[in-house]
């Protein structure tokens, strides 16, 4: 076995580096017709997969976060701001896991609940794609989502998440 074979990455190692489930990595590779026979990857493949899979980390140390005395409401405002600022409206959607990536586990649970409630309220829509579940703001509802981001009144259905 050559040294080059030892430096190749496993499917699990690549998925871990991308912060996605190995199944989602396979889904992306199959959708792009790039699934390697050996399921081994070069280190440079990670960034290529990140790009073709539209994998982003929305929550970093540099991500602006609003200050709110209710942490969950702050997450709602931050999520709404990110959706609006990134132009995630209508057909311009993002992977659901992008809106979670970088958050602590408890925060991920809150954001997932907020997304689900916003979908049921008709503010967001979700759709399955060959690359995974995507979400976007419903066209015409971007103003309501922007209002949430800017500190507007929170609908009762959303406030019930932290009540």
- pLDDT tens for 84-134 read 999 999 999 999 999 999 999 999 999 999 999 999 999 999 999 888 899
Per-residue model confidence (pLDDT) at position 3: 46
The pLDDT of residue 41 is above 70:
yes
In the chain, list all ranges with CATH 1.10.10.10.
71-159
Size of the chain in residues? 163
Q: 8 Cβ partners below 8 Å, 6+ apart?
A: 38, 40, 41, 42
Kindly report the CATH number that applies to the domain delimited by 71-159. 1.10.10.10
Residue 139 has pLDDT above 70, yes or no: yes
Answering whether pTM is above 0.75, one says: yes
What single string gives the DSSP state of each residue in 73-142? Answer: HHHHHHHHHHHHHTT-BTT--EEGGGGTTTS-HHHHHHHHHHHHHHHHTTSEEEEEETTEEEEEEPTT-H
């Amino acid at each position: 076995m050559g040294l080059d074979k030892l430096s190749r990455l496993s499917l699990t190692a690549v998925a871990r580096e991308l912060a996605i489930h190995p199944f989602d990595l396979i889904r992306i590779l199959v959708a792009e017709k790039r699934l390697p026979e050996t399921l081994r990857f070069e280190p440079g493949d990670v960034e290529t997969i990140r790009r073709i899979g539209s994998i982003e980390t929305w929550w970093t140390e540099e991500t602006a976060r609003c200050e709110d005395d209710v942490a969950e409401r702050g997450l709602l405002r931050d999520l709404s701001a990110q959706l609006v600022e990134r132009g995630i409206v209508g057909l311009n959607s993002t992977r659901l896991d992008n809106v979670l990536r970088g958050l602590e586990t408890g925060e991920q649970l809150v954001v997932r609940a907020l997304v689900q409630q916003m979908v049921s309220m008709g503010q967001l829509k979700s759709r399955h794609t060959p690359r995974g579940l995507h979400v976007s703001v419903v066209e015409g509802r971007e103003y309501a989502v922007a209002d949430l981001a800017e500190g507007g009144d929170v609908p009762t259905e959303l406030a019930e998440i932290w009540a």
